[in-house]
Amino acid sequence: MPQITKPEFDQAVSAAKTAFKTWREVPVMSRIRTLQKYVSLLTKHQEELARLITLENGKTLPDARGDVFRGIEVAEHGLAFSSLLQGETMETVAKDIDVYSYRHPLGVCAGIAPFNFPAMIPLWMYTLSTVCGNTYIMKASEKVAGCANRMIELTKEAGYPDGVINLVHGGKDTVDFILDHPDIKAVSFVGSNAVGTYIHQRGSHNGKRVQSNMGAKNHAIIMPDAEKEDALNAVVGAAFGASGQRCMALSVVVLVGDTKSWVPDIVAKARSFKTGPGHEAVDVSPLISVEAKQRVEKLIAQGASEGASLVLDGRGVKVPGYPNGNFVGPTVFDNVQASHAVYQEEIFGPVLCCMHADTIQEAIELINRNPWGNGTAIFTRSGAAARKFQHEIEAGQVGINVPIPVPSPMFSFTGNKGSIRGDLNFYGKGALHFFTEWKTITARWKDNPEAYKLSTAFPTMK
């Protein structure tokens, strides 16, 4: 996509700022009805959007359909925001004095989306921000902008006024325009650690609210009492789905006790996956770019050289008809140590690391030492083991016999530790808190002619 110029960007922000003056005054139920029309259009066009994602991102069509569906679900929850946007009140906090608080929109907000979820993550951002009364500047990933273009076209058809939702394109220059513009009040970002840290630091320095979801190294524990077929299918699918290009991919499995003997079964299931272009009937699709493929293959080589057991090597996979494709097949390492690069780095490719622990306590401590805290899971039939895990584990999103515990839209996306910068989460009540600010009114309506007594003392309410 072409890089937007600074004058063009300023024009988009000016349009959003002007639109905010009237959009914030639109009754909340009218804003919700506009969102309702938009959700209907997204649902009507979801197959078209999914095919656009597969065309430019490369992910399999079933995975692309899930991308769109999960985004629509979050937008649907915005239809219930009228109740969440209610304020608070208390009568007679002192004689003749009432106090009440309202949630007000911030103004112009902005979102910076990654390549791996071209529909879902933008829909986390501008649908909920605008239903709260804000206007929006959306920067789609320059790698996969086609789906975003179509989704923004549908906002016009749904009836959003000019300037309420604006799409901008480009790379780092566009990011800096967003972070530095004084009229942008809040910034949402999903992506890598390095970029997310930069965005949080620069945006915060410029006085903006920033929510920045970043890297991850998600672990799953398999206990000896787990239902073997169920656990292995879940872990292998979550490791290699979207070619590992998910911030909630399960990239590490911790095999407790005798389950270390299950590694050959993991390899067999991974080997059964077909690698190829996403528009065909395949399981593992290409990586996003040549650079991504080179990085993944470099880390695989480094893992092997550092002593991890490379039991399934996905490098050099041949896909008929696509000799220059960015393909890496499912890759499995065994006997991985915490010092290995394949453990320390977020690979963002189809690579699963197998580690061993003698007890659940050892496994929990291993996971808690990892600096990231996006998601984790345990597979067990023991309620006691599950409760110990959910209570002691530090990651913010926990699955019990669920491999990818991305919360439903009425909750919030609650990754923690090194996986987030900022203290307000995406979607659910977290989005409401991020996209609004409190205004509190203290009102005195006296029913007698007595005036205030002249005093310089700090006022108290009695």
Angle at 59 between CA 302 and CA 211, to 5 degrees: 80
Q: In this structure, is the dihedral angle defined by the CA atoms of residues 341, 343, 345 and 347, taken in order, positive or negative? A: positive
Would you tell me how many other CB atoms lie within 10 Å of the CB of residue 57?
A: 27
Q: Which amino acid is at 385?
A: A
**DSSP per residue, 369-387:** HSSEES-EEEE-S-HHHHH
User: Are 146 and 55 in contact, with CB atoms under 8 Å apart?
Assistant: yes
Q: Which amino acid is at 430?
A: G
Residues 381 and 294: their CA atoms lie apart, in Å, by 40
Instruction: Name 45's Cβ contacts closer than 8 Å, sequence gap at least 6.
Output: 150, 154
The count of C-alpha atoms lying within 13 angstroms of the C-alpha of 285, restricted to the half-sphere facing its C-beta, is 24
- Candidates 109, 132, 147, 247; catalytic one: 247
Outline where 241-371 has alpha helix (H): 263-271, 290-305, 341-344, 360-369
Per the annotation, the verdict on 109 as an active-site residue is no
Active-site residue set? 247
